């Protein structure tokens, strides 16, 4: 039996980052993975979807070349080549993780891992051979998969999840996307932009329902302007796959509607991968599909930890990475502070992009704050106008009494790269006046943050 200081089960952005940090801290480390290194994020999620979206964005630029004084004739797309590029990007990133494992002297154990009592993991390889490993500390980072609704059972062909949506053999003419969270909206944008007729069905009153209401309304307007049909306060009650395509029965405020499509993408959230990994062998406590942990990701059983999507925090790659780092730094005896889950940025990479951190206006009012709210539209931004991307705005929310930056919400070009300013400022307890007096470069998209703050304090110049 091989003995380690730390064994990590799962190699997604939570798992492989945990393993690297553990190794950096001098701990003998192994990682167990049944598929490709990098997990869903690198292979079937965050990275390849951004490659698809970039191809779609370039295609849109070419179609609108005349708007920039250019001439591009007979522009067309090659769906197979777009998919191939996306898979190539994912494979390259996975190889990068392989390199990082070697560089950091982390042992990669290929196979399906099952937790055992006594701080052990049994790993079954592709040939069915089982080997047992032990460690002082075992970190569960098995992530999640696409959640299935009873009314929407996935068959991988006509009713698909995000994996199939990334590697369809041919482009569908019509698609129904069920769910308007980040996954649903990103795929809706991608397929619509390359010519698929897309309908988005959302059960709640607003698309991207976790976002500020002003953001949700703007994104719905932008999608409708792009030709995407959006049905909110609507529910898919059943699907009929018996014909050539799919008949989707949708219950709306106006009654039942039947939508014909080639394929339905189910994007209604995720289901954690906690079954059949041996939690019951060890006695690790779970609640509502999540492994219960403390502030340092320790489970109820000493020596066993859990991070990422399998725990109650936000199911985001950057959260899983941060949790894993904190977890092993605590194991190594470092002084660490628990993560502030009120300061986690969220990003949606459709066009226009959406990014936010902190409280929405509704949440801030419910908490009883007296608010100062500022908004700056990109239509008033010189950089946005010059770039041909005037859609969207920056919205900031401050506590009127102390100047605390309560929330920041953005929609527009490149905002997923801009949100970090608000995250860092909130971490440093920066006030609105300090942002206002921090000189932002001109012309940039980011100066819209300063302008929005100026609007909150009645000092806006360019609006």
Q: Which residues does the annotation place in the binding site for FAD?
A: 50, 113, 309
Distance between CA atoms of residues 398 and 13, nearest Å? 33
Report the binding-site residues for NAD(+).
Answer: 179-186, 202, 269
| CA-wise closest residue to 191 among 330, 77, 115, 25 | 77
Long-range CB pairs of 163-168 (<8 Å, 24+ gap) are 163/44, 165/265, 166/44, 166/48, 166/49, 166/52, 166/83, 166/86, 166/87, 167/83, 167/87, 168/83, 168/263
Token output for 395 = 């919205």
Q: Which residues contact 102 (CB under 8 A, 6 or more apart)?
A: none
Q: Which residues participate in the annotated binding site? A: 50, 113, 179-186, 202, 269, 309
Q: Is 442 a catalytic residue?
A: yes
**Contact predicate 452/396, CB 8 Å:** yes
Are 16 and 102 spatial neighbours (Cβ–Cβ below 8 Å)? Answer: no
| Cβ–Cβ < 8 Å for 77, 194 | yes
Classify residue 129 by burial, with Cβ atoms within 10 Å: 0-12, 13-18, 19+: exposed
In SS3 terms, 94-131 reads as HHHHHHHHHHCCCEEEECEEEEECCCEEEEECCCCCEE
Nearest Cα residue to 43 out of 98, 80, 81, 6:
98
Kindly list the catalytic residues. Answer: 442
């Amino acid at each position: 039996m091989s003995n380690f200081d730390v064994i990590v089960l799962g190699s997604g952005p939570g798992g492989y980052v945990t393993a690297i940090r553990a190794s950096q801290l001098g701990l003998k480390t192994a990682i167990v993975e049944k598929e490709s290194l990098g997990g869903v994020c690198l292979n079937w999620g965050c990275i390849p979807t951004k490659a698809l979206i970039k191809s779609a964005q370039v295609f849109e630029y070419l179609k609108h070349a005349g708007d920039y004084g250019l001439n591009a004739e007979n522009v067309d797309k090659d769906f197979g080549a777009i998919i191939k590029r996306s898979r190539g990007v994912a494979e390259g990133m996975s190889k990068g993780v392989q390199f990082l494992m070697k560089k950091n002297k982390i042992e990669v154990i290929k196979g399906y891992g099952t937790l055992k009592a006594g701080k052990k993991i049994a790993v079954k390889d592709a040939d069915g051979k089982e080997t047992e490993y032990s460690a002082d500390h075992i970190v569960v980072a098995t992530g999640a998969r696409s959640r299935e609704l009873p009314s929407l059972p996935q068959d991988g062909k006509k009713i698909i999840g995000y994996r199939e949506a990334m590697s369809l053999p041919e482009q569908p003419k019509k698609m129904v996307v069920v769910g308007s969270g980040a996954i649903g909206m990103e795929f809706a944008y991608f397929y619509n932009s390359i010519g698929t007729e897309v309908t988005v069905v959302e059960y709640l009153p607003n698309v991207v329902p976790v976002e500020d209401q002003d953001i949700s309304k703007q994104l719905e307007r932008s999608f409708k302007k792009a030709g995407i049909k959006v049905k909110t306060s609507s529910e898919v009650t059943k699907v009929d796959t018996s014909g050539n395509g799919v008949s989707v029965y949708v219950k709306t405020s106006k009654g039942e509607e039947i939508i014909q499509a080639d394929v339905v993408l189910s994007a209604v959230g995720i289901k954690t991968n906690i079954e059949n990994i041996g939690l019951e062998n060890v006695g690790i406590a779970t609640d509502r599909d999540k492994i219960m942990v403390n502030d340092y990701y320790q489970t109820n059983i000493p020596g066993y930890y859990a991070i990422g999507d399998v725990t109650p925090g936000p199911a985001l790659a950057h959260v899983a990475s941060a949790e894993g780092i904190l977890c092993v730094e605590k194991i190594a005896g470092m002084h660490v502070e628990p993560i502030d889950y009120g300061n986690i940025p969220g990003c949606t990479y459709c066009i226009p992009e959406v990014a936010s951190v902190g409280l929405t206006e509704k949440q801030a009012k419910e908490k009883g704050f007296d608010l100062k709210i500022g908004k700056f539209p990109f239509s008033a931004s010189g950089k946005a106008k010059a770039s041909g991307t005037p859609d969207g705005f920056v919205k900031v929310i401050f506590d009127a009494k102390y100047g605390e930056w309560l929330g920041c919400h953005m929609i527009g070009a490149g905002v997923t790269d801009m949100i970090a300013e608000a995250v860092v400022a909130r971490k440093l307890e920066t006030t609105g006046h300090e942002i206002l007096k921090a000189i932002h470069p001109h012309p940039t998209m980011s100066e819209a943050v300063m302008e929005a703050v100026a609007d909150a304090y009645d000092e806006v110049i360019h609006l």
